[in-house]
Amino acid sequence: MISIIYSDKFLLHKTSDNHPERPERLRAIIEALGQQTDNLLLHWVEPTSRDLRKYLNRFHSSKYIQKVEDMANNGGGNFYEDTFVSPDSFNVALLAVSAWMDGINLTLKTGYPSFALVRPPGHHALQNTGMGFCLFANAAIAAHYALEQPDVERVAILDWDVHHGNGTQELVENNPHIALCSIHQSPFFPFTGREEERGAYDNVLNIRVKQGNSIKEYKPIFEERVIPFLLDFQPNLLIVSAGYDANEADSLGWVKLQPEDYGILTKLCLGITRKIIFGLEGGYELNSLAQSVIQTIKACVSSCSPWD
């Protein structure tokens, strides 16, 4: 059974008026999931409250962590104009990290995929600063956490958000036990993720797509490059930084995927392993975001019959 890790507390992270990364994103997903008449057999889980302050120090500088906490305690503020901290954001961002960790535990326990439906996203968060709407590096932290679990020696991350996962790359590129593949529009924000960036152990694969590319380009790229790279690493677990801003309807990316295409990409990933932890990154057009999450979950449900 597919586990969905979600809490209404993720709505308490506020940004600014008209900001694309807004609580309505999660509301739209939860509402659309509630309207599904198919029996999706989802296992809804509240994220665990963990005291992660100390743990977070392994990934982000204590100065930066303190800055986020102080900013929250002082009523809020922002980095780089676009990345906001509201009074609840520090605790909510820690809960988001915790939800991704719960995803690792649930998938290891059940052998089935899980999906952490969280805000804020994390793949742009660097060691020393948040940026690109991200506060803490959810995916990279989850990968390291997974490696602390019994019988987990190799973890792969696939980042299909339309933007390069620069924060994730910074935190995993020197770890031979983690492989990262990021497929992103380029040149585009955050202007990193060149194909020459291959990690200290050839453990990073950056694939650039162009403005206007669609599933016609994505599917062969997945079949010929993404999946072979991830399979070759023989991961015990696959983490997907699931951003949905490569949708044609999304104004923050200029790639032309459709919601059903995410079902195709998810099925290709399930060919590697059923042990997949999805975590929400970007995706700002509410309808295509919600429908894409549903397509991802449906592909998991149909590939993961409880009888096989």
Q: From the CB of residue 57, how many other CB atoms can be counted at a distance below 10 Å?
A: 12
What is the b/e burial string over 284-297, where b = at least 16 CB atoms within 10 angstroms of the residue's CB?
bbbebbbbbbbbbb
Report the sign of the C-alpha dihedral through residues 305, 141, 88, 160, in that order.
negative
Q: Taking CB under 5 A as the criterion, which residues in 123-142 touch Zn ion?
A: none
Q: Which residue from 163, 177, 256, 298 is in contact with Zn ion, where contact means CB under 5 A?
A: 163
The contacts of residue 176 (CB under 8 Å, 6+ apart) are 200, 201, 203
| Minimal distance, residue 208 CB to Zn ion, in Å | 14
159 binds Zn ion per the rule CB under 5 A: no
Q: State which residue, 21 or 102, has the beta carbon closest to Zn ion.
A: 21
Q: Taking CB under 5 A as the criterion, which residues in 229-268 touch Zn ion?
A: 243, 245
The answer to whether the beta carbons of residues 94 and 56 sit under 8 Å apart is: yes
Instruction: Extract the tokens encoding 234.
Output: 């023989």
Q: State which residue, 163 or 256, has the beta carbon closest to Zn ion.
A: 163
Closest residue to Zn ion, based on beta-carbon distance:
282
| Minimal distance, residue 164 CB to Zn ion, in Å | 9
Distances (CA, A) of 97 to 24, 167, 179, 215, 245: 20, 14, 20, 31, 21
Q: State which residue, 130 or 282, has the beta carbon closest to Zn ion.
A: 282
| Minimal distance, residue 68 CB to Zn ion, in Å | 20
- For residues 8 and 36, what is the distance between their CA atoms, to the nearest angstrom? 20
| Minimal distance, residue 127 CB to Zn ion, in Å | 20
Q: State which residue, 173 or 250, has the beta carbon closest to Zn ion.
A: 250
Q: Which stretch binds Zn ion (CB under 5 A): 104-112, 155-163, 175-183, 199-207?
A: 155-163
Q: Taking CB under 5 A as the criterion, which residues in 269-288 touch Zn ion?
A: 282
Q: Which residue from 102, 161, 173, 250 is in contact with Zn ion, where contact means CB under 5 A?
A: 161
